[in-house]
Homo-oligomer: A and B are copies of this chain.
Amino acid sequence: MAGTKILVAQGGGPTAVINQSLVGVALEARRHHGVERVYGARHGVRGIVDEDFVDLTQETSHNLELVAATPSSALGSTRDKPDAPYCHTIFEVLRAHGIAHFFYIGGNDSCDTTYIVSQEARKAGYPLRCIHIPKTIDNDLVGSDHTPGFPSAARFVAQAFAGANLDNAALPGVYIGVVMGRHAGFLTAASALGKKFPDDGPHLIYLPERAFAIDAFLEEVKTAYARFGRCVVAVSEGIHDAAGIPVLGRMAPELERDAHGNVQLSGTGALADLLCEAIRTRLGIQRVRGDTFGYLQRSFMGCVSDVDQREAREVGEKAVQFAMWGERDGSVAIRRTGFYSVDYELLALNDVAGKTRTMEDAFIAAGGTDVTDAFRLYLRPLLGSAMPDAYRLRAAPVARRSALAY
C-alpha cells in the first residue's frame, strides 16, 4: 500500500524564519515511515488551485538545512484570500492527489483558509488532516505567546533604532522611523529594546493601539526635543485618529487602496515625509529626517534571532507530530513556560482564524508614547543571543584655556 501524502505551502508576507517551519515539516514528515511524499505548493494556495507542486521528498537534507537558514518564502507566497469556492477548488486538487495532510504556514488569513478547507473535507467525508503553522512579523495571532517571524523582525527594529539613536546623537535633530503594523503595535514597540541609556531614543513611540492626534504629537516632539536637544520617534504605519481613520489615508487621499478599501501602508515613504514636514513647518526644527523601514524589516538578510529560528523550526516539526499522532485539525501555538522556555499546543482553527491580537494594555505606558517594563521583559528573550550593544565614552571634560572662552 502506498503511504500518505503531505502538502505544505506558505502564505502572506515572508519572514526571516518561515523557511525553518517549511523545513521542519519536510524533515519531520520524511522520518515517518508512513509518509510516501512531501509536496510543496508554489505561491501558497495559488499554487494549489494552479496545481503547481514540487516534490520535497526529492531534496537533500543538506539543501533543506541551507534553505531553512534563508529568509523569505522558498516556495513563494501569495496575497490571495480564498473564499469558500476557492477553498472548494483547493480541496478538489488535494483529493485528486490523494493528499491526506495539509499544512499551511501563514498568519490569520492563512489560518482562515485552513479552517475552510478543513470544513470542506469534513463535508465531503474525505479524511484530510489540516494544520495551520503560525508565522507573522506582526505578532497578531490570538492564543499564542508570540508568533514565529516576529522576534527576528523585532530584532531588526531594535538594532535599527539603536543605530539611528547613535546617528541622531552624533548629528542632533529629529529622526522618525516608520515601522510595519496596521493594527498591532508589537513591532513598533520593539524599537524600545534599542534603548540603553536613559537619554537614548526612541524618546516617543506611536502605536496603532492608541488614537493619534497631530497636535499632541507635535507638542510631545517639541517637549522631548527641548529636553534632549534631539528626538528619535518610532511610528507605526497603522497610526489612526480617534475615528479609526489611518493618518496616512487622511493626509494622503491619493494613495493606493486594495479591494477592501485599505490604504497600501507599506512600500511608500509618505507617512514619514508627512510627519517630518509637519515638524519642520510647525515646530521650526531644521534637521528632521524620516526613514520608512519598509521591506527591510522583514526580509533583511543577516539579522535573525536564534530563538526565533529554533521556534520556527519546532512549530513545523510539532505540526507534523500533531497531525500524525493527534486526533484533530488545529493551529499550532507557542505557550511560554519559563524565563525563557516554551512549549507548543494545538488550538482549534476557528479560535485563531481571522482574529487579530493587538498589544495588551499592560504593555503600553500610561502616556501612550512608551512601553512598560512588562513589555521589555516579554520581548527581551525573544530577540536571541549576541545582540549588539552600544557603548559611550566616559572621558573627563577638559578645562578651557583659550582667550575665546572669556
Binding site for B on A (CB under 8 A): 10, 13-14, 37, 39-40, 43, 49, 51-56, 58-59, 63, 66-67, 69-79, 89, 92-93, 95-97, 159-160, 162-164, 166-167, 169-171, 175, 194, 256, 266-270, 272-273, 276, 280, 288-296, 298-303, 387-398, 400-405
Q: Which residues of B contact A167 (CB under 8 A)?
A: 14, 71-72, 295, 298-299
Tell me the nearest residue of chain B to A387, going by C-beta: B302
In the complex, A401 Cα to B300 Cα: how many Å? 38
Contact across chains for B97 and A54 when beta carbons are under 8 A apart? no
Contact across chains for A403 and B72 when beta carbons are under 8 A apart? no
Q: Nearest chain B CB to A124's CB is how many angstroms away? A: 14
Q: Which residues of B contact A55 (CB under 8 A)?
A: 395-398
Copies of the polypeptide in the assembly: 2
Contact across chains for B302 and A388 when beta carbons are under 8 A apart? yes
Contact across chains for A295 and B390 when beta carbons are under 8 A apart? no
In the complex, A76 Cα to B167 Cα: how many Å? 9
Given contacts A300-B163, A402-B97, whether A74 and B290 have CB atoms under 8 Å apart is no
In the complex, A10 Cα to B171 Cα: how many Å? 11
Contact across chains for B267 and A54 when beta carbons are under 8 A apart? no
In the complex, A380 Cα to B213 Cα: how many Å? 48
Contact across chains for B175 and A295 when beta carbons are under 8 A apart? yes
Q: Nearest chain B CB to A175's CB is how many angstroms away? A: 7
Contact across chains for A395 and B40 when beta carbons are under 8 A apart? yes
Contact across chains for A89 and B404 when beta carbons are under 8 A apart? yes
Which of B70, B166, B300 has a CB less than 8 Å from the CB of A299? B166
